Structure 1
């Protein structure tokens, strides 16, 4: 991996950390804007880079919220990485709105399913509204900004990586 690619990866991880500091009021404090930089990077830099940023973004968001970093957060970080990777794959096929819808629904309803077994069904239902709002905001922001940044990245930044 070149120095420039590594620097861009670090930049997007830093943006994810900043997004993790912007909290959406909820019962659980780890719902934040940490996914937006990962969604953006998954299209601009690549699906693997976006997945890495999504995983780190969740871990940092949970840490900043004061949650213990245990196996549960590793599972969520892996889920986030998979969802962002899938978002990128779908987006690259030209189905941009479907990619956004996939991320919103998977992040809001599928990703928290393990919480039913780890905590309770009530906890799962309590997570749904803030997760839906957070996923929607992250996704809409990414879908609006990706086309604006894509030309800049393809010409000036990523084009020079080769």
Structure 2
């Protein structure tokens, strides 16, 4: 296990802060916690390990849910774990050079697979109503990250 450097912890805190700001930018698609909170976590994979980028996503979701009034209560802990996993997978695909595959996999994980437990925990109706909005939100987050990442790569090359 590698030790976390002060620089990595600082970067993680910065991206968590950006996720909190993104969490305040709500996408009006039904569930109040749909926001731009995962965009910074997707960009974080350029600088952080997969587990740390996943942690940015999980904490970003929890902060976003707090801003939205925690409409799903403790279920947000499940969603935070799902967000962690979706960004972890995205980061692993990115590290493996799967630059085309990582985008649809993230959108599928975040937009469909993450909603499956709620089919059983809440209701099939909740699943069917939430998936279209989740797909749109995941797509918006991914598109934003896809636009920002090339510029951040250039910044990273100058800084590192």
Same fold (TM over 0.5): yes
Whether 1:26 aligns to 2:22 is no
CA distance in 1, matches of 2:134, 2:115: 9
**Contact 1:47 / 1:84 at 8 angstroms: preserved in 2?**
yes
Q: Taking structure 1 as reference, are residues 44 and 4 closer, same or farther at Cα in structure 2, changes over 3 Å only? A: closer
Alignment of 1:127-146 (within 5 A): 127-146=130-149
**Contact 2:41 / 2:54 at 8 angstroms: preserved in 1?**
yes
4+ residue runs of structure 1 moved beyond 4 angstroms? none
CA distance in 2, matches of 1:28, 1:70: 12
Whether 1:96 aligns to 2:99 is yes
**Contact 1:24 / 1:134 at 8 angstroms: preserved in 2?**
yes
1:9 aligned residue (12, 16, 24): 12
Deviates more, 1:65-74 or 1:145-154: 65-74
By how many angstroms is 1:144 displaced?
A: 2.0
CA distance in 2, matches of 1:145, 1:101: 17
Gaps of 5+ in 2: none
Whether 1:118 aligns to 2:136 is no
Gaps of 5+ in 1: none
CA distance in 2, matches of 1:96, 1:141: 15
TM-score, with structure 1 as normaliser:
0.91
Q: How many residues align?
A: 157
TM-score, with structure 2 as normaliser:
0.92
By how many angstroms is 1:129 displaced?
A: 1.5
**Contact 1:42 / 1:48 at 8 angstroms: preserved in 2?**
no
**Contact 1:17 / 1:57 at 8 angstroms: preserved in 2?**
yes
Equivalent residue, structure 2, for 1:51: 54
What secondary structure is seen at the aligned counterpart in 2 of 1:44?
coil
Q: CA RMSD in A?
A: 1.5
